Structure formats: C-alpha cells, structure tokens
C-alpha cells in the first residue's frame, strides 16, 4: 500500500495537469449527475465546501441549490480545537478568505447549523477508493465531523482521483457514493 502523503502529492500533480476546459467540462458533468440524484432532489439542507481549484467546482452547485430553494451550509474550521462546523450561506458576500486561500463563512453574518439538520453532506477529498474511502487534505476535520454525522454523504471526484487502495485507518468513514465525470459509484 502507498503512503498517504505520497498519494496526496501525486494526486495534486495529476490534478494540476487538468486544463481549464477539462476542469469546466468534468465539473459540469459531475454537477449534472448530482442534480439527478435522489439525495440531492430530496435534500432541503446541503452541506458543501466552497471549492478551490483543482477541486470539483462547487460554486455552480451552491447557485443551483439556492435556485431550487435549498438551504446551503458551508464549513468553518476552528484550528485551535481542530473542529469543523457548518454555517448558513445565503450569498457569496458572506464568505471571507482564511487559511490557504480557502473561503469560509463570516461568523458575524451566518448561523451555525447542527449536524442533524443537514440532509446531504458533500464530502471533499483528494483521492478515493471504489469502497468509498477518501483521502482528505491532511487536517482530519471531516474525519472527526463524520463521526457524529448520520445523514447521506456523497463525494464528487474526477475519475483521475480514484485510486486502487490506500491504508484505511480505524477512524476512516466511507462516503455513501462517489459521483465522477464518468458516472456514479454507489457504496452502501
């Protein structure tokens, strides 16, 4: 099995080679597949990250959710407690740039939403196995959050992000399905 850090490094290199047209095309195909998924259709509250290239574009997902009357909640990291919480997002101006150029909700103008209120959680990552295990960016925020989240989880990934395997640890929780630019991988 490969070392997680070497997989992260290799995946960042692979993703950096995506051209802008490929990135846009693949993100659009993934979004269209997500919109047809029952979990998306039925969800009233959707949790997702504000993407940073080369992650699958979530700006279009946020807009579509708003247009469909869904509530969007986005993550806020607390690096001191190494804790993730989700806060409402009603417009992009409620975001601020924080660590590593990521955009997070401004606490003064957003409200925290508890895990039980989120119907669908779009879980980010760098690499995935077909069994639904994900390799995140190394902070462990989502691993800790998923321990107390019991709703539907979906990851969005470019096909290149699928890897045969990596070391799965006891705290790793697989997502329910992965949507790629080539289709859906249902896990459970």
Residue keyed to tokens 């190394």: 138
DSSP state of 143: H
- The predicted-structure confidence for 54-80, as pLDDT tens digits, reads as follows 899 999 999 999 999 999 999 999 888
Name the residue range of residue 56's domain. 4-70+118-186
Cα 138 to Cα 145: distance, rounded to the nearest angstrom = 14
With 0.85 as the threshold, say if the pTM is over it. yes
Give a yes or no: residue 107 inside a domain. no
**Number of separate domains in the chain:** 1
| 91 located within any domain | no
CA distances from 42 to 21, 64, 149 (A): 31, 14, 18
Q: What confidence tens digit (pLDDT) does each residue in 74-129 have?
A: 999 988 888 999 999 999 999 999 877 889 999 999 999 999 999 999 999 999 99
Structural domain contains residue 58: yes
Structural domain includes residue 104: no
Q: Provide the CATH number for the domain around residue 44.
A: 3.40.50.10420
Does residue 112 belong to any structural domain of this protein?
A: no
pLDDT above 70: percentage of residues in the chain: 98
**Looking at the chain, which runs of residues are DSSP E strands?**
45-47, 71-78, 83-89, 95-97, 103-105, 112-113, 120-122, 127-128, 134-135, 152-157, 177-180, 183-186
């Amino acid at each position: 099995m490969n070392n997680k850090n070497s997989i992260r490094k290799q995946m960042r290199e692979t993703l950096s080679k995506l051209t802008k047209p490929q990135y846009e095309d693949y993100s659009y195909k993934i979004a269209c597949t997500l919109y047809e998924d029952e979990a998306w259709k039925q969800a009233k509250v959707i949790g997702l990250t504000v993407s940073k290239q080369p992650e699958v574009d979530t700006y279009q997902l946020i807009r579509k959710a708003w247009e469909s009357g869904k509530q969007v909640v986005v993550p806020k990291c607390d690096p001191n407690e190494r804790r993730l919480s989700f806060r409402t997002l009603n417009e992009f101006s409620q975001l601020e740039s924080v660590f590593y150029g990521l955009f997070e909700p401004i606490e003064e103008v957003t409200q925290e939403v508890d895990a039980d209120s989120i119907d669908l959680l779009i879980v980010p990552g760098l690499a995935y196995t077909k069994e639904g295990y994900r390799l995140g960016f190394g902070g462990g925020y989502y691993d800790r959050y998923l321990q107390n989240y019991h709703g539907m989880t979906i990851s969005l990934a470019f096909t290149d992000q699928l890897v045969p395997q990596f070391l799965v640890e006891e705290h790793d929780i697989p997502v329910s399905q992965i949507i790629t630019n080539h289709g859906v991988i249902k896990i459970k």
